[in-house]
Structure 1
Amino acid sequence: MARRHTNAILILLLVSTAWVLGDTNGTWPPRAWLVDALVREVPGLLASQDAATGRFGGEPWGCQNQHAILPLAVAWATEDPSNPHAHSEAVLTAICRGGDALVEAQDEEGAWAFPRRGQPAARLHLPWTYSRWVRAYGLIRDAMPAESRARWEDGLRRGFRAIRRGLDGPVQGIATHQAMALYLAGQALDEPGWQEAAARTLARVVAAQDPAGFWAENYGPALGSNMAFVEALGVYYAASGDASVLDALERAARFHAATLWPDGTPIAGIDERQIYHRERSVGNVGFSHTAAGRGYLLAQTEALRAAGQPISAEYAAAMLLHGGSGPAEAALARVEAGQVVLGDHKAVVQRSRPWQLSFSAYCCPVSRQRWVLDRQNLVDVFHDDLGLILGGGNSKLQPLWSTFTVGDPQAVRHRPGDTSPEFTPRTDLRWVLTRGTLDVSKALPALELAYHDHTGRVSLEAAGPDGLRLAYTAVVHGGRRFEAHVPFLKRRGRLRFASGLQVYLSEEKACFSAEQTGAWFEWDGLRVGIPLGATLHWPARAYNPYARDGKAPLQHAKLVMTLPFTQAGQSFPVDLQPVPPPDLSGVLHEARRLPVTSRTDSRLKALDDLGSFLLAASRPGDSMTFSLPVETSGTYEFLVDLVMAPSYGVVQFSLDGTPVGEPFDAYAPEVDVSGPVSLGEVLLVEGRHDIGVAISGRNPKASNCFVSVRSFRLKPRPAATASAAAPAAP
């Protein structure tokens, strides 16, 4: 036990010295924002209830539909000048009928039918439903009609007696939520024995926490699942005041803050349950009871609050009911440079603006469970402007995602349509490590990974404004096929190679050698150096454990660079950098900021997510006209930047009624950008000029003939080169 606490202290020191910017950075909660989010959803929740049955939502109905009773109960109980629903009879009636519907759906043991696709319904005591139900009861019980209160109490006791009987099992997320709910039920229904049993279970939960601040389901972190433990302990602390859980909440808050990219998305490379996704966790009440956690909450909700966007009523209700308050530590993962080491040197997060890198040395055998991903992809790289570049989490039956493999990677794969694959097949392929060693003794970290008799090394060799270099090295070569893999996340638009080759990646398999590609590829703002001997493979698909047939969408596939080793000591450098910026000289006019009309009465719309202005044309001849200001008379190169997409047509530009440039085909099999397209050189006089954008045709592959313009640019040129003259428009 003493060693356990020593390790935990080491982790906290590493986190705090490297990442915390100051003592405080604001306070939590933003009460007005929370109350507003709660209040604005009440009318919709009430409208979704069937007055005859008390059930919320549509069909098929499940007990989780009744979770609406908790935000309604918090709205009913919250006195605030901006809350018109406080002590509303209509709201109280809806809550009572909602709980009555739960009673009516219970069996004699208090369980509800839980529908399962393609299988008979299970009978479950869903802890998430019971915890919301008992919290709603605690808020409204003194105002309930006697008959309804008696029904609720009978139903709650029936269910919680069953929950108590099954509580003493292993520490898991579901059991933790059950214990929290049982504690609340013990308070509300005057059952001290339930409170004592729940407190014992939650003490076991605290003791089971890894010193790094997470709870393992199999081995190592599972970021999303970990949130369930944090939430349950946070609600329990708010209800009990049991300070013995605060250290666990503190460690959990620091762990989650350290495992974020600068944009607030999770570092999936250390996660054994989820691949990378672009959703920002906004935390839960468990974070609100420590300064570190409140800093996490402020950082993760900052974008929503700044944009005036509401959070869910469920979140707001939980925070208003159970949330802590006070000063917050400054946001994490926003420093210029720093390093966090997790666990007993199990992972490192290295920050050197604008780059952030994660190495993972978490190591365990392949699990037979479909939900537990193989710990195979151990390197992730993020750039502030480009987002997550490579890595992006783990999979199953996909050796091409592994940082190194020994043997033929094609020996293990998921066969399309196989609903019961063997996740631990008999094979001599090695795709998960047998031992990992993290070296953080120098300024730049390195990761050494053993696969039985072969050992590879990944080291960070440079990270600065101009680029980042990783080196993949064969340390020990045992004579078998041995290769490294660098999995790149799918990006938008075309792959452009140094050789001049350009391709869109689709469902079709593709393989490119370094001889075909040249020294680099560019992809949506990213340039990657391609070492001699490397090959690129597409698509390396994920296995989707949540689909019965395991099929994952193409957007989760990776473009994998394979680096083959022939001997020990061989090393491949992989250079990453932003694409060098284009020539930005001249005067830029964003299309969205210019006056625009349509003489053909076509639909016009600004597309803020694409930074463009759309002409929703339906046929050739549809057009729009921009009014372009020119401040200085002279000769200019006239350039336009467009969006390309499957529904876009062929467009002809004109200047004050005279066509300029060649027709441009804006069709692409996926959303892309054209980059600067020159329409030639023009002579312009000071004043405003009409820029016509007309549909002149349609690619046979295009589904429509829209066009979307991002910007116009005027680059000054010597007057002698002018090829056209345009007086100021009248």
Structure 2
Amino acid sequence: MRFFTNRTLVLLTILIAGLPALNRAATLDNHPHWKYGGSLPGLYYEVLAVSFDKAERFQAPDGRYRSRIPADTEQDVRSFSMYIMQYIYVPALLYVTEHEANPLAGNRRALDSALSSGDWMASIVNEEGLFVPVVDGVKTNPLDSHRALYCWAEVYGLLKNELGAERERSWREALHRGGQRLCDDMRSRMTRPRITAPFLGTSPNHFGLWCTTVNRIGMLLGLDDWVEDSRAALARFVREVAPGGYWAEHDGPTVSYDYLNTAVGAYYWHYYKDPEALDAIRANTDFHAHWTTPDGIDISTVDQRNRNHYRPRAGFGLFSFSNFPAGRRLVRLKLLAALEDKRDPFESMGLSALGRLAQDAHYHSDGPEAEIPQQIPSYRHTLAARPAVVRKNGNWVYSICALVSPDSPLNQFFLDRIMPVSLWHTRTGAIIGGGNSKGQPGIVTFAAVRNGDLDAHPLDGLLRGSWDGDTLCVAEEGFSCRLTFVTVDDNTTLIRAKAENTYNHRNTALLQLQFRLHDGGTVTVNGQSSTLSAERIEREGALRIAHNGWSASLPEGSRFEWPFYTYYPYGSVRVPENLHNAVGRAAVTLPDGEWVEVRIRVD
């Protein structure tokens, strides 16, 4: 089902009243902090302009942007990353753009900030085209410097008439050196069999962003061979979009990184007007519109790269959505959600996202808005031929993923597909969810106990469903398992599950659910309340779990524990003791051949 038509706007009074307090700013007509919150591109420019005062104040004397005023040199070094240098795009765009929401057009402070930052960028590109960032005399990590290189190239184009001969030459030569390395990497991969990580040796979003960067620098510096080769690579990239409207990184969607991929497709459409590019970003906008809950947060059950940490994403790729009426409204929903309930985008979003928000403003396609799935009473959306579904039914949104993918044990970044499910309610936000993980059998949706250990490795999965309901079917070693959601009314949903043994291992199957609990809050289990801290909570038996306005009733033989720390692919510790990302794990025994019921109620 698609929503890119001029349908009648649904009144949002009920939706606004019901959204969780944490995300009150994520409403389309309740944005008290933002004068231009009701329209684009005004909201973009208002947000960017508000962010600049703090960014300028925190900018280092050498021109680098900083996320804070460091207490000492060590903190200055530790807190820097090349990602935040994408912010260079913001003051440059504000300086050159006349718009009623932008008070910094022609402002010398904005120009000086961008020029100083660009000079620092030019100083850290060595003769081989490598970025060698130095902070207070210490070399720091140049990871993903190509993202900042793209933003700097756009700044070169915007401010070329302000640079002067010497600065223009310095920037142009450094851009050429940095771009040449990307061009070489792009050319070495552009004829690989597929644009997926296993074939590329890097993520498709990296490859796609390299292509746009090479293309843009080629345009700006008059390098025709760069433009020609990158255009060919981009044409192939947009044709790799899956029927479900996403770009696969390994196998199936990666919702979080797909924003980067759609930015690539939208860039190509902007400059080359290839109809297949428009088709790709239209399908992608449809994908993101449906796999977003009404509070603006991604539904992560299908994501193979990142778990859901319940933070709205806004920055990369929003200009792709703005090519379509419903997409423009989706942009506002996501941006207002990311801004939270305050007027401090520097804190709410961060420098990196704001840098890409400048790209969204720069490449915005203006026009009317249209209704989005979050505004209608019900919808059902699947990933074309792949077994995954998201359904909205009144106050409830649930999702089921039955994707099975080859394991990637040597790659820390690709998660195991564990057949996750999610459940969301208008008044509480997420109740069940979190997504996939890696090497954590304790949160695989269906598992079996063998010799005292959990065996949780889905062999096959499928989805049986229609408008009447959806059933997740999973084949585990020794068991055939099923799960279905039953919406009783606007405040009650049932999760029903059954396991049937195939290898004569009776009564050893488990249903495992990931409950979204807010650290620092309170959870009540069978009338006993506890603060959600690092202190362990373990309960067994017939359980009633209550938190944040919802309750879950689990049958006899169930087990609950908190905190269950979850996998994180970045950094040196794979399962950090991070309470924000922890879940409450519930395990329910599934007697052979019997339907077992978990009742979720919102008070």
Distance (Å, rounded) in 1 between the aligned partners of 2:545 and 2:174: 63
Measured on the aligned residues, the alpha-carbon RMSD in Å equals 3.1
8 Å CA contact retained: 1:534, 1:562: yes
Match of 1:338 in 2: 379
Task: Letter of the 1:294 partner, please give it.
Answer: R
User: Is residue 544 of structure 2 the alignment partner of residue 512 of structure 1?
Assistant: no
Task: Return 5+ residue gaps in structure 2 as ranges.
Answer: 11-27, 29-36, 71-75, 196-203, 347-353
The CA deviation at 1:188 is: 0.9
Q: Which residue of 21, 34, 47 corresponds with 1:37? A: 47
8 Å CA contact retained: 2:50, 2:345: no
The CA deviation at 1:321 is: 1.6
User: Is residue 328 of structure 2 the alignment partner of residue 318 of structure 1?
Assistant: no
Distance (Å, rounded) in 2 between the aligned partners of 1:232 and 1:37: 23
Task: Letter of the 1:540 partner, please give it.
Answer: F
Distance (Å, rounded) in 1 between the aligned partners of 2:522 and 2:467: 38
- Cα deviations by residue, 1:361-409 (Å, 9 ceiling, x for unpaired): 1112332222222211421111111221113212222212111112349
8 Å CA contact retained: 1:179, 1:201: yes
8 Å CA contact retained: 1:15, 1:341: no
Match of 1:361 in 2: 402
1:197-208 maps to which residues of 2 (within 5 A)?
197-208=229-240
User: Is residue 297 of structure 2 the alignment partner of residue 265 of structure 1?
Assistant: yes
Match of 1:111 in 2: 130
- Cα deviations by residue, 1:641-682 (Å, 9 ceiling, x for unpaired): xxxxxxxxxxxxxxxxxxxxxxxxxxxxxxxxxxxxxxxxxx
Match of 2:509 in 1: 482
Q: Which residue of 549, 567, 582 corresponds with 1:525? A: 549
User: Is residue 407 of structure 2 the alignment partner of residue 388 of structure 1?
Assistant: no
- Cα deviations by residue, 1:135-163 (Å, 9 ceiling, x for unpaired): 11111112321111111111111121221
Higher strand share: 1
Match of 1:544 in 2: 568
- Cα deviations by residue, 1:286-313 (Å, 9 ceiling, x for unpaired): 2112233213113323567997847565
1:421-500 maps to which residues of 2 (within 5 A)?
430-441=455-466, 443-480=468-505, 481-491=508-518, 493-498=521-526, 500=527
8 Å CA contact retained: 1:269, 1:379: yes
Distance (Å, rounded) in 1 between the aligned partners of 2:45 and 2:467: 49
Distance (Å, rounded) in 1 between the aligned partners of 2:52 and 2:563: 46
Tell me: CA distance 1:563–1:409, structure 2 relative to 1, closer, same or farther (3 Å): farther
Match of 1:163 in 2: 182
Match of 2:269 in 1: 237
TM-score, normalised by the number of residues in structure 2: 0.81
- Cα deviations by residue, 1:487-517 (Å, 9 ceiling, x for unpaired): 222246444445x4444454344432326x5
TM-score, normalised by the number of residues in structure 1: 0.68
Larger Rg: 1
Match of 1:608 in 2: none
Task: Letter of the 1:147 partner, please give it.
Answer: E
Task: Return 5+ residue gaps in structure 1 as ranges.
Answer: 1-13, 412-428, 580-730
Q: Secondary structure at the match of 1:570?
A: coil
Tell me: CA distance 1:32–1:337, structure 2 relative to 1, closer, same or farther (3 Å): closer
Q: Secondary structure at the match of 2:601?
A: strand
Task: Letter of the 1:146 partner, please give it.
Answer: A
Tell me: CA distance 1:114–1:442, structure 2 relative to 1, closer, same or farther (3 Å): same
Distance (Å, rounded) in 1 between the aligned partners of 2:342 and 2:144: 38
Match of 1:223 in 2: 255
Tell me: CA distance 1:510–1:317, structure 2 relative to 1, closer, same or farther (3 Å): closer
1:23-62 maps to which residues of 2 (within 5 A)?
30-51=40-61, 53-57=62-66, 59-60=76-77
Tell me: CA distance 1:216–1:409, structure 2 relative to 1, closer, same or farther (3 Å): farther
Distance (Å, rounded) in 2 between the aligned partners of 1:332 and 1:167: 37
Distance (Å, rounded) in 1 between the aligned partners of 2:530 and 2:496: 27
Match of 1:573 in 2: 597
Match of 1:709 in 2: none
Q: Which residue of 256, 280, 284 corresponds with 2:288? A: 256
Match of 1:77 in 2: 96
Match of 2:319 in 1: 285
- Cα deviations by residue, 1:592-642 (Å, 9 ceiling, x for unpaired): xxxxxxxxxxxxxxxxxxxxxxxxxxxxxxxxxxxxxxxxxxxxxxxxxxx
Task: Letter of the 2:534 partner, please give it.
Answer: E
Tell me: CA distance 1:220–1:97, structure 2 relative to 1, closer, same or farther (3 Å): same
Task: Letter of the 2:548 partner, please give it.
Answer: D
Q: Secondary structure at the match of 1:231?
A: helix
Distance (Å, rounded) in 1 between the aligned partners of 2:235 and 2:86: 27
Tell me: CA distance 1:34–1:387, structure 2 relative to 1, closer, same or farther (3 Å): closer
- Cα deviations by residue, 1:570-596 (Å, 9 ceiling, x for unpaired): 2211111123xxxxxxxxxxxxxxxxx
Q: Secondary structure at the match of 1:436?
A: strand
User: Is residue 224 of structure 2 the alignment partner of residue 192 of structure 1?
Assistant: yes
Tell me: CA distance 1:266–1:409, structure 2 relative to 1, closer, same or farther (3 Å): farther
8 Å CA contact retained: 2:539, 2:559: yes
Task: Letter of the 2:586 partner, please give it.
Answer: M
Task: Letter of the 1:205 partner, please give it.
Answer: F
Distance (Å, rounded) in 2 between the aligned partners of 1:138 and 1:147: 16
Q: Secondary structure at the match of 1:286?
A: helix
The CA deviation at 1:20 is: 7.1
- Which sits farther off after the overlay, 250-259 or 476-485? 476-485
8 Å CA contact retained: 1:238, 1:324: no
The CA deviation at 1:175 is: 1.4
Q: Secondary structure at the match of 1:407?
A: strand
Tell me: CA distance 1:23–1:241, structure 2 relative to 1, closer, same or farther (3 Å): farther
Q: Which residue of 298, 317, 327 corresponds with 2:332? A: 298
Distance (Å, rounded) in 2 between the aligned partners of 1:246 and 1:506: 48
Distance (Å, rounded) in 1 between the aligned partners of 2:86 and 2:219: 20
Paired-residue identity, %: 22
Tell me: CA distance 1:54–1:526, structure 2 relative to 1, closer, same or farther (3 Å): closer
8 Å CA contact retained: 1:495, 1:504: yes
Task: Letter of the 1:215 partner, please give it.
Answer: W
8 Å CA contact retained: 2:319, 2:361: no
Task: Letter of the 1:36 partner, please give it.
Answer: E
Distance (Å, rounded) in 1 between the aligned partners of 2:314 and 2:402: 27
Distance (Å, rounded) in 1 between the aligned partners of 2:205 and 2:238: 12
Task: Letter of the 1:543 partner, please give it.
Answer: Y
User: Is residue 168 of structure 2 the alignment partner of residue 143 of structure 1?
Assistant: no
Task: Letter of the 1:149 partner, please give it.
Answer: E
8 Å CA contact retained: 2:560, 2:584: yes
Tell me: CA distance 1:21–1:507, structure 2 relative to 1, closer, same or farther (3 Å): farther
Distance (Å, rounded) in 1 between the aligned partners of 2:452 and 2:63: 55
8 Å CA contact retained: 1:366, 1:432: no
More RCO (CA 8 Å, sep 6+): 2
Task: Letter of the 1:22 partner, please give it.
Answer: R
Tell me: CA distance 1:88–1:533, structure 2 relative to 1, closer, same or farther (3 Å): closer
Task: Letter of the 1:238 partner, please give it.
Answer: H
